[in-house]
């Protein structure tokens, strides 16, 4: 069965390690005949949530920026993949801001069921992304029909391109194939 897969990359670095991981996941998902859309937050305007909660009634945010289009794509995707560098053991601020602004999804009839979380960190500890994984689990727990299908942490990759000589790209491809 073909699935609509939305991949959201939150690195600000062009061709950063987490984006490379996301692109390999995309190749795997495409090779399994899924429809894949890739969005980079790098050049998107995403303002902070004001906490007004009007989106719970109107099903859209009153703030006019790139977020509303992304949230609509999230709503209509079967699978969402978030890719982020790990900063201070957490997800990037850009991704966290997007998740906060995705509040209109809470009261909507969203399609996504499976969420994947891809992270890259300079830290050499394989558990360095656990706090970020807990953060994404917290977001997912607000959506009773969704679950964290899998998380992949590429650890020990600091400089741009460091991920190229690791096992992590092949792992991301394999996970994408299994979507």
CA angle 51, 105, 73 (to 5 degrees): 120
Beta bridge partners of 35: 4
**Domain spans of the chain, in order of start:** 4-177
Query: Is 92:40 a contact under the CB 8 Å cutoff?
Result: no
pLDDT over threshold 90, residue 15: no
pLDDT over threshold 90, residue 142: yes
The mean pLDDT of the chain is 96
* Superfamily name with CATH number, domain 4-177: Flavodoxin domain (3.40.50.360)
Query: Is 22:9 a contact under the CB 8 Å cutoff?
Result: yes
Please give the average per-residue pLDDT across 90-101, as a whole number: 98
Residue 68: strand, helix, or coil:
helix
Residue 14 banded pLDDT, cuts 50, 70, 90 = confident
Instruction: Name every residue whose Cβ is closer than 8 Å to that of residue 62 and which is 6 or more positions away in sequence.
Output: 52, 54, 55
What global pTM score does this model have?
A: 0.97
Please give the average per-residue pLDDT across 86-110, as a whole number: 96
Residue 83: strand, helix, or coil:
strand
User: What pLDDT, on the 0 to 100 scale, is given for residue 125?
Assistant: 96
pLDDT over threshold 90, residue 165: no
Could you report the per-residue pLDDT of 148-162, keeping only the tens digit for each?
Answer: 999 999 999 998 899
d(CA 165, CA 98): 31
């Amino acid at each position: 069965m073909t699935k609509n897969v939305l991949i959201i990359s939150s690195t600000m670095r062009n061709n950063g390690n987490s984006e490379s991981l996301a692109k390999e996941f995309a190749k795997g998902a495409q090779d399994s005949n899924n429809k894949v859309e890739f969005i980079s937050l790098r050049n998107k305007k995403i303002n902070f949530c004001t906490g007004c909660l009007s989106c719970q009634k109107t099903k859209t945010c009153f703030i006019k920026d790139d977020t509303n289009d992304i949230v609509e794509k999230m709503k209509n995707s079967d699978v969402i993949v978030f890719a982020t560098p790990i900063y201070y053991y957490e997800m990037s601020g850009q991704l966290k801001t997007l998740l906060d602004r995705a509040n209109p999804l809470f009261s909507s009839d969203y399609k996504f069921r499976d969420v994947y979380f891809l992270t890259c960190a300079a830290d050499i500890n394989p558990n360095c992304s656990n706090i970020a994984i807990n953060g994404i689990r917290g977001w997912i727990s607000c959506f009773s029909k969704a679950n964290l299908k899998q998380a992949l942490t590429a650890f020990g990759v600091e400089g741009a391109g460091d991920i190229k000589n690791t096992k992590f790209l092949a792992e991301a491809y394999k996970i994408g194939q299994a979507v």
